[in-house]
């Protein structure tokens, strides 16, 4: 194996975290902000890119890291290495309510494609790159699903999802239609495209957007019930303007309470 071989355990229900067990000199890579806790003896270093191209010289490192800018991520990642004798443990937490999904890349042909913000951590040696769309329609209308990340290698990787996770195994030619934001990821043989919903009433009044993703088998697809963009949008929509407390919250008056109190805003 090129990637480090690590053991793991996932804890929790709604707000999960994954605990990784590192043997001496084993390491794991992660995006900034996902770290939770670690045993003494594990060293943290910031590296250029994901560390998978350390033997390809400076140019290889630059090209690998530069592609990450297209997904809105930093040029740098963090590597955690067990530098002393004995097994040590380190944990990474999901950033919002949902599930942590373990992926053994050897079971998926060495490649898994996921949403650009789904990656949590992986064994050192796994390459985290960019999966470009080959079709113009995806670029204009793909939403969250346009620029995807690809995880490549022969080690363990971990992604996170929002809400509840559904795993769908598609047979050859079988098609699944999904909201673009609800896709967590899929295996390399799944064909991914964007399709127009159609119909004037659907377009103007449907409230579900104009396009959805079509995923065609064979392959495995992971779907989340609550993408972060949907969660954030509903929180913002429910927040009272100006940061004040909503006086109608939890009462039978509802919005009428604001009108009575003179706190109505247009």
Does residue 244 surpass a pLDDT of 80? no
221 Rama sector, left if φ>0, alpha if ψ -120 to 50, beta otherwise: beta
Query: Does 139 or 196 have the greater pLDDT score?
Result: 196
- Give the percent of the chain with pLDDT over 70: 67
Of residues 84 and 143, more confidence is placed in: 84
The pLDDT value recorded for residue 257 is: 44
- At the top level of CATH, the class of 7-234 is alpha beta
Quickly state the pLDDT bin for 29 (edges 50, 70, 90). very high
Mark 217-237 as b/e (b = at least 16 C-beta within 10 Å): bebbbbbbebbbebeeeeeee
On the question of pLDDT at 227 being above 60, the answer is yes
Whether the upstream peptide bond of residue 98 has omega within 30° of 0, thus cis, is no
Laid out side by side, the sheet with 127-131 consists of: 127-131, 148-152, 111-114, 183-187, 219-224, 165-170
Strand partners, 160: 100
Average pLDDT over residues 92-108: 92
Return the domain boundaries, the chain. 7-234
Residue 201 region by backbone torsions, left for phi larger than 0, else alpha for psi between -120 and 50, else beta: alpha
Q: Find the mean pLDDT for residues 159-169.
A: 93
Q: Can you tell me the distance from the alpha carbon of 163 to that of 151, in angstroms, rounded to the nearest whole number? A: 22
* Tokens coding 129: 């790159």
Mean pLDDT of 56-72: 53
Cα separation, 225 vs 33, in Å, equals 23
The token duo for 82 is: 């067990």
Helices (H), the chain: 57-66, 136-141, 200-205, 228-238, 256-260
Q: Please tell me the predicted confidence (pLDDT) of residue 69.
A: 56
25 secondary structure, DSSP code: T
DSSP letter (8 states) at residue 181? G
Provide the pLDDT confidence category of residue 56 given band limits of 50, 70 and 90.
low
**Are 108 and 169 within 8 A, CB to CB?**
no
**pLDDT-derived band of residue 173, with 50, 70 and 90 as boundaries?**
very high
pLDDT tens-digit profile of 213-226? 899 999 999 999 98
Kindly report, residue by residue over 191-203, the tens digit of the pLDDT. 988 877 655 554 4
Chain segment 141-150, per-residue pLDDT in tens: 444 446 788 9
Cα of 92 vs its chain's centroid, Å:
14
């Amino acid at each position: 194996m090129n990637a480090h071989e690590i053991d793991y355990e996932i804890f929790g229900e709604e707000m999960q975290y994954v605990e990784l067990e590192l043997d001496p000199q084993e390491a794991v890579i992660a995006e900034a902000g996902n770290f939770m806790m670690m045993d003494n003896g594990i060293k943290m270093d910031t590296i250029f890119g994901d560390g998978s191209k350390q033997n390809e010289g400076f140019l290889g490192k630059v090209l690998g890291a530069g592609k990450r800018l297209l997904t809105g991520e930093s040029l740098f990642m963090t590597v955690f290495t067990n530098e002393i004798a004995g097994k040590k443990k380190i944990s990474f937490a999901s950033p919002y309510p949902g599930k942590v999904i373990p992926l053994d890349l050897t079971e998926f042909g060495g490649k898994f494609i996921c949403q650009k913000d789904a990656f949590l951590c992986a064994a050192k040696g796994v390459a985290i790159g960019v999966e470009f769309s080959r079709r113009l329609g995806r670029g204009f209308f793909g939403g969250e699903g346009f620029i995807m990340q690809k995880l490549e290698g022969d080690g363990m990787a971990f992604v996170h999802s929002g809400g509840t996770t559904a795993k769908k195994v598609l047979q050859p030619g079988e098609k699944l239609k999904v909201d673009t934001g609800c896709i967590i990821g899929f295996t390399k043989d799944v064909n991914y495209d964007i399709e127009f919903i159609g119909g004037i009433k659907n377009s103007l009044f449907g409230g579900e957007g104009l396009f959805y993703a079509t995923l065609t088998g064979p392959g495995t697809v992971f779907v989340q019930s609550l993408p972060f963009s949907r969660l954030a949008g509903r929180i913002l929509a429910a927040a009272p303007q100006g940061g004040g407390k909503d006086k109608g919250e939890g009462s039978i008056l509802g919005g009428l309470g604001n009108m009575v109190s003179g706190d109505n805003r247009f």
